[in-house]
Every structure is written in C-alpha cells, then in structure tokens.
Amino acid sequence: MKYRDLHLHLDGSISLTSLKELARLGSYELTESDPYLLNKLQVSPDCRNLNEYLTKFAFPLFFMQTEEQLTASVKNLLAELKALDYEYAEIRFAPQLHLTKGLTQEKVVEACIKGLKDGPVDAKLILCALRGDGNENENYETFEIAKQFLSKGVCAVDLAGAEALYSTDKYKELFKRARDLEVPFTIHAGEADGPKSIYTALEFGARRIGHGVRAFEDKALVKEIARLKIPLELCPTSNLQTCVFSDIKDYPIMQYLDAGIIATVNSDNMSVSHTDVPRELELLKKTFSLSDSDIELIQKNSVIASF
C-alpha cells in the first residue's frame, strides 16, 4: 500500500537522526542522551491541550535556521517517508519561524524547495501564516511569497497556531488577500476551537479544513461540508494528545465517512506525535474494525483532496 500525508508539519516531524545532522550543520554539539532528545521532540503522555502541545516545536526550530539546515530537513523527511512507502506528501511550515539567523522568508522557502528536488517521494509545500499578535506583516508576506512560488514547489497556504486563543474570524482580510492572489488555502479549524471556526474557514473560501474534527458537534455543518465536498485533514493521534478526545473510540471517522465527507487521515507531526499515516490507519482499523474498502476509500480521499 502507498500512503499520502496532506497534513504534515516539517518542524514537528524532525526525527532524532535528522536532528543530529541539523545540529552538525549548525556546528552545534549535542551532548545529551538519545532519550533526553526524544523527550524534547515528542509530546508527553500527560499533555493537557493544544497550547501545551505547541511548546514542543521550539526545540527542533532552533536547528532549522540556515538554508543548509532547511534543505537537509526536507531531504531527510522525504527519505523517511520513502522508507514508509509514501507516494506523496504536502509538507507545511511557517517561513517566519526560520529567520533568527538572518534569512528572509523568501530564502527560507527557496531552501525548502531545494530539499524537494530529486527527492524519492513526490511532495509539495504549504506555507503557514501564524495566529498571534504583531505578526500581521509577516503573514501577508508569507502569502505573497506563496504566490511567487506557486506551482514551483508551493501548492497552498494555511493558518496555524493557537486556535482557541486567536479566533479564525480575526483573519478575514488575510484570506481575502489569498483569494485575490488566487492561492489555494486550507485553514486549521475545528480542533481547539469548535464548529464556528469551521464555518468561518468555509466562509473565507478554504478548499480544505485542517483537522475539522469537531464538525460532528453540528449536524448541519456535517451536511454542509459533505455538500461542498470540502476535505477534512484528520489527525487522530494528535487529537488525542491535545485532548480533543479522551478515547479513540469516540473519534468520528465513521460518522464522517458515512456522511459522504472526504475524510483524509494524516500524521500532523511525525516526531511530536510519534506517528505516521500507516500507524494512524492501523489505529483506526483496529478501533473501528475498518474493512479494506474503508481503508481504500480513505486513501482515495487523500488523492482527491491533494492540492
């Protein structure tokens, strides 16, 4: 079986092996033990919410601040995906988080595109704007750069970050700019925040919804997502770790498939969540006794939903 991952954060998917190479490229000596480093990369079993989950990104980001490191991080991830029998991935990251060593957002994106070239797995980049305060200019710049590199390695833009702290409706003008630029976009919504955030993302014109897993709380919304054929980028293990659900048995995958929603299954963050698409599918298969045709449908959905 060949796999696709449409919701895959680069900085959340830096393996221990890759981390060591990135440190070497930055002339930084890692003296800590492997268990210590893994603890820095992976979320703890007692994670309380999305905001706590997001703290795990600062450590790998420290080693992703030069062009060489960024190119290597993408190349290494593609090699790891190849070993897992992936055929395609859409890798997302926020260029504004890689500027501490003097790079521009444009240089960051160019370095990551270089990492895609001649890779063993077909992949594209999704550029993330970030929820927060005081970074409006950086977010607009990210979208302008996405337009510059659209179809040259970049396939879309996204809005990521602390969803419950910075509501989606604050970014209306930003996504108006994306529409004006004719850059496709997905939006993280319906994870830490409820159905309202999904409605807002749809109103903005999102082509996909990042997570969207809480749509089931509003039956009319489920019908609307199905009617509009808007894919959901589901990430089960991540949703458990951020306490959207306390038990995988409560996960609404069958509800969405039965409703005709284009539900896809993704890893979110391979290192932070310690998972990958094969593991996610196996988890759902065991929990819900999914048939081979159910798995085939999910895989087909990932083809349909790809930017």
State the catalytic residues.
191
Q: Which H, E and C letters describe 123-183, residue by residue?
A: EEEEEEEECCCCCHHHHHHHHHHHHHCECCCEEEEEEECCCCCCCHHHHHHHHHHHHHHCC
Residue pair 9/92 in contact (Cβ under 8 Å)? The answer is yes
DSSP state of 213: G
Residue pair 277/265 in contact (Cβ under 8 Å)? The answer is yes
Tokens of 30: 């890692």
Question: What is the distance between the alpha carbons of residues 171 and 32, in angstroms, rounded to a whole number?
Answer: 41
DSSP codes, 29-80: ---S-HHHHHHHHS--TT--SHHHHHGGGHHHHHT--SHHHHHHHHHHHHHH
DSSP three-state, residue 188: strand
